[in-house]
Amino acid sequence: MLTIALSKGRILEQTLPLLKKAGLEIADEELNSRKLILDTNLEDIKVIIIRATDVPVFVQHGAADIGIAGKDVLLEHGANGLFEMLDLGIAKCKLMVAAKSPDYQQTGVLKVATKYVKSAKQYFEKKGQPCEIIKLYGAMELAPVVGLSHCIVDLVDTGNTLKANGLIPLDHIVDISSRLVVNSASFKTKNTVIKAWIKAIEKNL
């Protein structure tokens, strides 16, 4: 039995076609049901669909053998106990610093609003900019506008959300896309079948 953890939302939409091309399908009735463990067209493969941030946690602890999650989420998680095997090239965006003006940096402590605490801390530490991280769970773009922070660290794709809120994309931290990760113990115990799936998915990227 193989359990695959998929991220809800935009990653899921882009993952299902990749899995289908590799031979794994989930019927619409399953996807539209309230079930949390979904059957697939293959008897020995189950799929769980969970919040993006929970995917590496399930994989790390072996509750799922394989997971698909954004690099942003994996960087925050730290990727303990799992191997990043494949860049799927989907849900592409950039992790960036954005602010109301290019001279957002402070001689004192810079207030940074973000849900990417670890990545933001690392980035400003490297630059030698003292910072206070204000952890948010969404609507980061609001923070500089209402004076909660000097800047934000968030994902940027089209830049429309920043623009709509009067913010400018400034510093590029890292390119983001979704990755296939594997539980390190499963990679040993289920090596043949996992490698075969990775190959099948990779072939169709």
Residues lying near ligand ATP in the complex (CB under 6 A) = 7, 9-11, 51-53, 70, 72-73, 91-93, 155, 157, 176
- Pick 122 or 161: Cβ nearer ligand PRP: 161
Q: At its nearest, how many Å lie between ligand PRP and the CB of residue 160?
A: 4
What residue type is assigned to position 107 of the chain? T
> To the nearest whole angstrom, how small is the minimum distance from the Cβ of residue 96 to ligand PRP?
9
Least Å from the CB of residue 105 to ligand ATP: 25
The three-state secondary structure class of 134 is: strand
Q: Tokens 């402590």, residue?
A: 109
25: partner contacted, choices ligand PRP, ligand ATP, none (Cβ within 5-8 A by kind)? none
Specify the residue, 129 or 161, whose C-beta has the smaller distance to ligand PRP. Answer: 161
| Cα separations in angstroms, 163 against 14, 100, 151, 167 | 25, 10, 14, 6
Q: Which stretches of the chain bind ligand PRP, using CB under 6 A?
A: 138, 154-161
Structure letter (DSSP) for residue 9: T
Q: Which lies closer to ligand PRP via its Cβ, residue 24 or residue 112?
A: 112
CB of 170 closer than 8 Å to CB of 93: no
**Would you say 41 and 28 are in contact if contact means Cβ atoms under 8 Å apart?**
no
Comparing CB distances to ligand ATP, the nearer of 4 and 110 is 4
Q: What is the largest CA-CA distance in the chain?
A: 60
The binder of 73, among ligand ATP, ligand PRP, none, by C-beta within 5 to 8 A per type, is ligand ATP
Residue of closest CB approach to ligand ATP: 70
Alpha carbon distance 196, 168 (integer Å): 44
